[in-house]
Amino acid sequence: MIKDALIDELENSPVRTFLIDFIEVKDNDAVFAETPCAKSIIDYLSKKSRKLSLLENGKIIGTSDFTKADFIFSLEDPRFTRDLSLDQFRQYYELLEFSGKLIFSVMNSLGYSYISGESEMHTGSAFGGYSSTEKSESKTSLSRKELHTLLGEAGFKSIRSFYPVPDSIFPTEIFSDEFLPSEGDIHDVKRNYVENGMDLMKTDSFINNIINEGLFTNFANSFLVIAEK
């Protein structure tokens, strides 16, 4: 499903770590990283913290010197699907120390790339994100409202939202609620990860329209959230 030419880039590109480079992780912070995960991201986190352990489906892999984490990283990767159910977010919550943070990225089911005809990266379905009626247990992408609702119901009290461009996989810019783009700011519009993607509209014009209407946060391609316990 994923373009063969992208496999090595997805695994090893240093651009993958730009998404989390601004997050301050200290050497003695306990860190969990959800797997499967790109080698470049695991290598980056292992240099940031000497207390890194891996998770699979929310469970610690192997033995670990700690059972609670200061940070959990669960990041989008088009090669793999994750459990986006409420139970999974509750599990993340329970694995965090008091004031611990979940760093979570996901594609937006209402993102402008999907609206323009790009195939859903996990299922390959055209318009598969925003046309889906599946429950969160089966979803591979989430709208902003769906994501914030899941985090809130899981117990997270503080949620900061960021909007990587063109997406959270190979970001070149990261906007936030405090620093949103103005018309003409977004040039690196999107990437197509699957073979059968389409392009049915002038995406740059659509982006400028949603920016001017104050709707960018709902239609950005993907989200990065920092959710604090």
pLDDT tens, residue by residue, 174-191:
999 999 999 989 876 666
Tell me the CA distances in angstroms from 41 to 29, 48, 131, one per residue in order.
16, 11, 31
Q: What is the pLDDT of residues 147-162, one digit of tens each?
A: 999 999 999 999 999 9
Q: What is the pLDDT of residues 84-120, one digit of tens each?
A: 999 999 999 999 999 999 999 999 989 888 877 777 7
| CA–CA gap between residue 187 and residue 154 (Å, rounded) | 36
Q: Is residue 23 part of a domain?
A: yes
Q: Is the pLDDT of residue 227 over 90?
A: yes
Q: What is the predicted pLDDT for the residue at 36?
A: 83
Domain ranges, residue 179: 4-110+132-185+222-228
| CA–CA gap between residue 124 and residue 127 (Å, rounded) | 9
Q: What is the predicted pLDDT for the residue at 10?
A: 86
Query: Which of 194, 224, 183, 229 has the alpha carbon at shortest distance from 41?
Result: 224
| CA–CA gap between residue 58 and residue 48 (Å, rounded) | 21
48 in helix, strand or coil?
helix
The 10 Å Cβ neighbour count of residue 91 is 17
Give residue 179's region: left, alpha or beta (phi > 0; psi -120 to 50): beta
Q: Is residue 210 part of a domain?
A: no
The 10 Å Cβ neighbour count of residue 4 is 7
| CA–CA gap between residue 229 and residue 226 (Å, rounded) | 10
Q: Is residue 199 part of a domain?
A: no
Q: How far apart are the first and last CA of the chain?
A: 36
Q: Which residue has the higher pLDDT, 136 or 178?
A: 178
Give the number of domains in the chain.
Answer: 1
Q: Is residue 209 part of a domain?
A: no
Q: Is residue 137 part of a domain?
A: yes
Amino acid present at 169: I
Cis peptide, bond prior to residue 14, ω within 30 of zero: no
Q: What is the pLDDT of residues 63-75, one digit of tens each?
A: 788 899 999 999 9
Rg (CA), the chain: 17
8 A C-beta contact, residue 82 and residue 55:
no
| CA–CA gap between residue 91 and residue 138 (Å, rounded) | 17
> What is the pLDDT confidence band of residue 136, given thresholds at 50, 70 and 90?
very low
Cis peptide, bond prior to residue 36, ω within 30 of zero: yes
Q: Is residue 191 part of a domain?
A: no
Q: Is residue 86 part of a domain?
A: yes
Question: Model-level pTM?
Answer: 0.89
Q: Is residue 212 part of a domain?
A: no
CATH number of the domain enclosing 146? 3.40.50.150
For 1-10, 69-78, 124-133, 152-161, which range has the lowest pLDDT when averaged over its residues?
124-133
8 A C-beta contact, residue 136 and residue 142:
yes
